């Protein structure tokens, strides 16, 4: 007669999560209380773990409070402090959005009721960028909108809050990813070479500027792929160039068929400073490995910026070379992928095979 399968004690799993300070335990969310201190905590609380005999487990804050325990001030298990901090940062973002010039860090911190350095840390943790970088992003959006509407460059620069045109031209990549004139023209004057091909995952389109690859799309009809590229560069001239892009197409198609090594092609990535930082972090994920969105944010030193990191992953225009398919949900599930979850699964499986060889 076969033996019955052994089941693990849920409390044993929870206790191990407390010892490991595992903020996302496999046993599911829970809170633990310390009977000798009268408090309840998250399993990831940085405080010294209690003795096992002094520990009780609860499903939620309500049941812990009903048993007479109060919330730990250090790990904030009810999220009250985190909500207050998020509200303060949201108010600061609104102030930046409404201001004609960039508010000083001292002004923002005083409005929020925090010390200057404390507020700077909170803002960076929640938004993923500093207040200065956020404000520069606001100015860049204003500038881009004005240029897209056809405003003259000088008027758009002044209206966006830049002191002079020279400040924009000094670092066009950081502000727009292109010169103000090119942004005003929606890519007009730029030539994007394109090449269509068939791949193991359906139609493939590779687009490149003179600087490098700016678009990789696959698994959709050629017209849809080209439409996606045109939406990114509405006034650029697309020029078929199958011969000059033959080697790039060959490498991309080979990767789709059987990933064996990271793609190494010159890139022309256009995004905000934060987006490019996320994309650079994606490139550093080794072949055959995955990260969660929260894990990637933590690796970047911004554990509270999980949603912002996920948004940046979703806006990646160069699939495969910037491997957003290597990011999965907290549970390990293959979350949404621009080119379809089955293809994401196939890419990851191929990469794991290559890593094992």
pLDDT along the chain (357 residues), means of 10: 59 90 79 95 90 94 94 88 84 82 88 90 79 75 56 48 44 46 55 93 92 90 87 82 93 89 81 80 89 88 81 86 88 78 88 79
Give me the pLDDT at residue 308, please. 81
Give me the pLDDT at residue 189, please. 66
Give me the pLDDT at residue 34, please. 95
Report d(CA 244, CA 246) in Å as an integer: 6
For 34-54, write each residue's pLDDT tens digit.
999 999 999 988 889 999 999
Q: Cα 72 vs. chain centroid, distance in angstroms? A: 30
Give me the pLDDT at residue 148, please. 52
**DSSP of 201-248:** TEEEEEEE-SSSEEEEEESS-HHHHHHHHHHHSTTSEEEE-TTTTHHH
Q: Which residue has the tokens 């910037």?
A: 322
For 258-269, write each residue's pLDDT tens digit.
887 778 888 888
Helix (H, G, I), strand (E, B) or coil at 300: coil
- Strand pairing partners for 56? 33
Angle at alpha carbon of residue 140, lines to 181 and 299, rounded to 5°: 125
Q: Could you say which of 45, 93, 214, 324 is catalytic?
A: 324
Give me the pLDDT at residue 3, please. 54
Length of the chain measured in residues: 357
Q: Where are the alpha helices (DSSP H) in the chain?
A: 10-20, 61-66, 80-98, 105-112, 116-127, 131-148, 153-160, 165-170, 172-175, 180-184, 222-232, 246-257, 273-283, 293-299, 306-314, 341-356
The 10 Å Cβ neighbour count of residue 13 is 15
Q: Could you say which of 41, 93, 214, 313 is catalytic?
A: 41
Note if 75 is an active site residue: no
The model's pTM is 0.53
Q: Could you tell me if residue 260 is left (phi over 0), alpha (psi between -120 and 50 degrees) or otherwise beta?
A: alpha
């Amino acid at each position: 007669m076969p033996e019955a399968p052994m089941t693990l004690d849920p409390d044993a799993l929870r206790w191990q999560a407390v010892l490991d300070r595992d903020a996302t335990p496999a046993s599911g969310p829970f809170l633990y209380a310390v009977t000798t201190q009268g408090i309840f905590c998250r399993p990831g609380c940085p405080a010294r773990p209690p003795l096992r005999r002094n520990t009780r487990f609860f499903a939620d804050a309500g049941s812990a409070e009903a048993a007479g325990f109060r919330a730990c001030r250090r790990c904030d298990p009810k999220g009250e402090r985190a909500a207050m901090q998020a509200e303060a940062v949201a108010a600061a973002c609104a102030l930046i959005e409404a201001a004609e010039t960039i508010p000083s860090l001292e002004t923002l911190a005083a409005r929020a009721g925090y010390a200057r350095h404390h507020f700077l840390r909170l803002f960076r943790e929640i938004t993923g960028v500093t207040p200065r970088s956020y404000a520069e992003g606001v100015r860049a959006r204003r500038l881009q909108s004005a240029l897209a509407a056809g405003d003259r460059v000088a008027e758009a620069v002044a209206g966006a809050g830049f002191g002079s045109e020279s400040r924009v031209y000094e670092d066009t990549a950081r502000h727009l990813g292109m010169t103000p004139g090119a942004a005003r023209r929606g890519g007009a004057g730029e030539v994007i070479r394109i090449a269509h091909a068939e791949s193991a995952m359906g139609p493939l389109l590779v687009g490149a500027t003179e600087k490098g690859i700016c678009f990789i799309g696959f698994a959709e009809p050629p017209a849809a792929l080209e439409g996606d590229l045109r939406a990114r560069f509405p006034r650029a001239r697309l020029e078929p160039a199958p011969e000059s892009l033959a080697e790039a197409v060959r490498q991309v198609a080979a990767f789709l068929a059987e990933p064996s090594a990271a793609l190494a092609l010159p890139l022309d990535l256009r995004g905000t400073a934060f987006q490019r930082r996320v994309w650079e972090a994606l490139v550093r994920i080794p072949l055959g490995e995955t990260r969660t969105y929260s894990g990637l944010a933590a690796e970047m030193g911004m554990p509270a910026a999980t949603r912002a990191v996920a948004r940046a992953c979703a806006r990646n225009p160069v699939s495969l070379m910037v491997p957003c398919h290597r990011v999965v949900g907290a549970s390990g599930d293959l979350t949404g992928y621009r080119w379809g979850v089955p293809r994401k699964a196939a890419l990851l499986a191929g990469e794991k095979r290559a890593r094992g060889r």
